[in-house]
Amino acid sequence: MSSTPSLEELPPIAQPDDELQYFETHAPPANIAQLSLEVRDFIAHHHAAHRRVVLVSSGGTTVPLENQTVRFIDNFSAGTRGATSAEYFLEAGYAVVFLHRQFSLLPYSRHYSHSTNCFLDYLSEWGRIGEGEDAAEGGDVVVKQKYRQQMLDVLRKYRRAKENKTLLLLPYTTVTSYLFLLREVAMRMQVLGSEGLFYLAAAVSDFFVPPDRMAEHKIQSGDIPGAAGEDNHAAAAVAPGPRGKKLVIDLDPVPKFLNRLVEGWAPNAMIISFKLETDSAILLYKCRQALERYNHQLVIGNLLSTRKFEVVFVDNKKNENWIRVPEAKEGEEQLEIESLIVPEVVRRHNQSIGGASIHRF
Ligand code: PAZ
């Protein structure tokens, strides 16, 4: 435990001045004005219908090494936790703002994308007779019998979310676009007061290249005759090494904006963050430390290797509760741990706003 930093040794939490500085020196996503209007309308619609809104963040953020980005550093996350949880929140009657890494898993389509099966493997040709070159064409495409029931269930849920407009998809790629969008949505959600919920499952970069040290062009691994070393000031550059050129990257800490979310952007909402670790010996320590630093309501801790089977809820009353699901045996379907996490989160949200009921369709 002695190798984990104490509160005093951690990078300072972001203050209003840090927020001003960060958002003034970084370019917002090009479409932020349009997205902000969509968020405004989405929240106004569900607020008027007395429906709760949860922001679910999902997937990993990237840190570009060049302005014209060829290379970037990525954060681990497939988006499974976020996409799966979003489905259970929709089932529980929430409207969901799904702030996700572009091309990571999405609610509903996750059942058929990114899997080892190609989506075409779920389909067959109806009316096709025979095999190989002699087969007669059928002319229609249908879902194979063995997948039909499950796909129908997913399709119905997906259609319900579409028809009721309860799912808003907001994509990001870089840590900067994630932070701009998080702030934007949080400000828009203020109108919901304690009915607003933040469920921050995204894996957000801790280190980045500040704009004044960002290389403009692709970092070259060798010398270009006649080219001036214009990127020598950059945070990522090649330098001589014992076995040829090496890439040296010098990153700054990303300001800790969870504090700004709790105190400034969404002061009345319930805020839940996730904490991912790989060393079980420090997981609880890091969860408690996050609560102490940011003063929000709940941290859900998980380990990389067991995140699908167990998580721990650490709350601001010093309670620690584990949720576990058994690992499925071969051929069995895995019970999704989010099917237990989300109802427990909803129970706590109910409690925090005095047991108000949820308006469902
Ligand atoms: O997306 P996924 O299911 O592969 O992984 C989910 C997770 C481990 C990224 C998430 O549960 C989590 O812990 N997010 C916070 C990561 C962090 O500590 O920054």
> What domains are defined for the chain?
7-111+164-209+254-352 (3.40.50.10300), 211-250 (no CATH)
Mutate which of 87, 199, 273, 274 for ligand 1 pocket (most atoms within 8 A of beta carbon): 274
CA distances from 292 to 51, 198, 298, 309 (A): 31, 18, 11, 26
Residue owning the nearest CA to atom 10 of ligand 1: 201
pLDDT on residue 325: 98
Q: Where is average pLDDT lowest: 88-92, 110-114, 150-154, 301-305?
A: 110-114
Q: Starting from the edge strand earliest in sequence, which strands make up the sheet with 53-58, in order?
A: 167-172, 95-101, 53-58, 196-200, 270-277, 298-303, 310-315, 320-324
Cβ neighbours of residue 42 closer than 8 Å, sequence gap 6 or more: 53, 95, 97, 165, 168
Ligand 1 pocket residue status of 77, Cβ below 6 Å:
yes
Mean pLDDT of 215-227: 81
Q: Which atom of ligand 1 is nearest to the CA of 201?
A: 14
- Biggest CA-to-CA distance, the chain: 75
Q: Is 239 a residue whose pLDDT tops 70?
A: yes
Residue that is written with structure tokens 């269930």 in the block:
153
CA of 203 to the centre of ligand 1 (A): 5
149 sits in the region (left: phi over 0; alpha: psi -120 to 50; else beta) called alpha
Q: Contact, 287 vs 301, CB < 8 A?
A: yes
Would the CB of 101 count as within 6 Å of ligand 1?
no
pLDDT of 12 > 70? The answer is: yes
Residue 79 Cβ inside 6 Å of ligand 1? The answer reads yes
Counting from 1 in the atom list of ligand 1, the atom nearest the Cα of 275 is: 18
Distances (CA, A) of 116 to 58, 81, 112, 113, 214: 21, 18, 9, 9, 37
**Residue 2: pLDDT over 50:** no
Q: What is the mean pLDDT of residues 222-239?
A: 69
- Give the count of alpha carbons within 13 A of 45, CB side only: 15
Strands 270-277 and 252-253: unpaired
DSSP conformational letter for 201:
-
* Distance from the alpha carbon of residue 201 to the mean position of ligand 1, in angstroms: 5
Residue type, 168: L
Mean of per-residue pLDDT scores for the chain: 92
Three-state secondary structure call for residue 72: strand
Between vectors from CA 259 to CA 7 and to CA 202, what angle results, nearest 5°? 100
ipTM confidence: 0.99
297 lines ligand 1 (CB under 6 A): no
Is 85 near ligand 1, meaning CB less than 6 Å away?
no
Residue 166 Cβ contacting ligand 1 at under 6 Å: no
Q: How confident is the model at residue 260 (pLDDT cuts 50, 70, 90)?
A: very high
- Whether pLDDT at 232 is above 60: no
pLDDT at 226 over 50: yes
* CB-CB contact of 284 with 315 (8 Å): no
